[in-house]
Amino acid sequence: MKRTYLIMLITLTAIAGFTQSSNNEGTVVYEEVIKFDIQLENMTPEMQAMLPTENKTATVLYFNEDVSRYEYLNDTDAVIEEESEGGSVQIMISQPENIVWRDLKDKKMIEQTEFMTRVFLIESDYESDEWKLTGNQKMILDYPCQEAVKTDGEKETKVWFTPAIPVSSGPGDYANLPGLVLAMEADNGDRSIIASSVELKSVDESKLQKPKKGKKVSKEKYMAIVEEKTKEMGEDGAVEGAQTVIMTISQ
């Protein structure tokens, strides 16, 4: 009996050690949801009712202890079609070529982002995010998660991260916490991201490469370009790397 107990103890210790190690590397698939309210002049109520109110996109995060890379899972454009007796609506949503690569050891970040058909490559250090823990907890995909929030003026962003995966990364800009971010909500719920699957296993190095496409600019230079082009268009603001919507309406 004593010998059996010792063998079981050694086996369990080995399994526990392996599990802890594997939690530092893997792949997370997310569903990103963006809600929108399209209002057009001279449109009948029937046609207005056909317009979509949200777009769902699959994104993916590859990570290990040293680096992570976040991007769209599919680079094809999304097409939404609706038909009725009063006409038809076709909306094509073009996916931007956005990639966020993080050096988790040296706190460096490279963003490949598309703005007004131009692609930029932005290199920067991590910005100091002032996340505050709320004490709220919940389970996401069987992982215990904690809630953290940060505010920018009147805007509040919420994330849920899990210390069970001790990697300080997450989807896009939502990272720099003591655990992997599995969910996010911003813009009063108009934009959200939530993990749909987590796979903890070795990631091929090709999935973790730095993005290389685009014109190299600093963060400050890029923001200046966005501000200048936004003013030219007469807009009050712009969404960085926003999806492009092309709509065809037949009546």
Token pair in block for residue 155:
């805007």
What pTM did the predictor assign? 0.77
CB atoms within 10 A of CB 168: 18
Query: What pLDDT, in 10s, does the model give residues 181-194?
Result: 999 999 888 899 99
| Mean of the per-residue pLDDT values of the chain | 79
Query: What pLDDT, in 10s, does the model give residues 72-95?
Result: 987 655 555 656 555 666 666 667
- 89 beta partners: 82, 249
Is 173's pLDDT higher than 80?
A: yes
Query: What pLDDT, in 10s, does the model give residues 223-241?
Result: 898 888 777 766 544 444 4
CATH 2.40.480 applies to domain 25-250: no
In this prediction, residue 178 carries a pLDDT of 94
Query: What pLDDT, in 10s, does the model give residues 198-219?
Result: 999 999 999 999 999 999 998 8
Question: With contact defined as beta carbons under 8 Å apart, do 188 and 158 qualify?
Answer: no
Rounded-to-integer distance, Cα 215 and Cα 176, Å:
26
Nearest to 184 by CA among 197, 200, 173: 173
Question: With contact defined as beta carbons under 8 Å apart, do 245 and 96 qualify?
Answer: no
Phi-psi region of 242 (alpha: psi -120 to 50; beta: other; left: phi over 0): beta
CB atoms within 10 A of CB 101: 21
In this prediction, residue 160 carries a pLDDT of 98
Rounded-to-integer distance, Cα 205 and Cα 84, Å:
48
In this prediction, residue 36 carries a pLDDT of 74
118-125/215-217 β-pairing: parallel
In this prediction, residue 154 carries a pLDDT of 81
Task: Considering only residues 7 and 121, tell me which one the structure prediction assigns the higher pLDDT.
Answer: 121
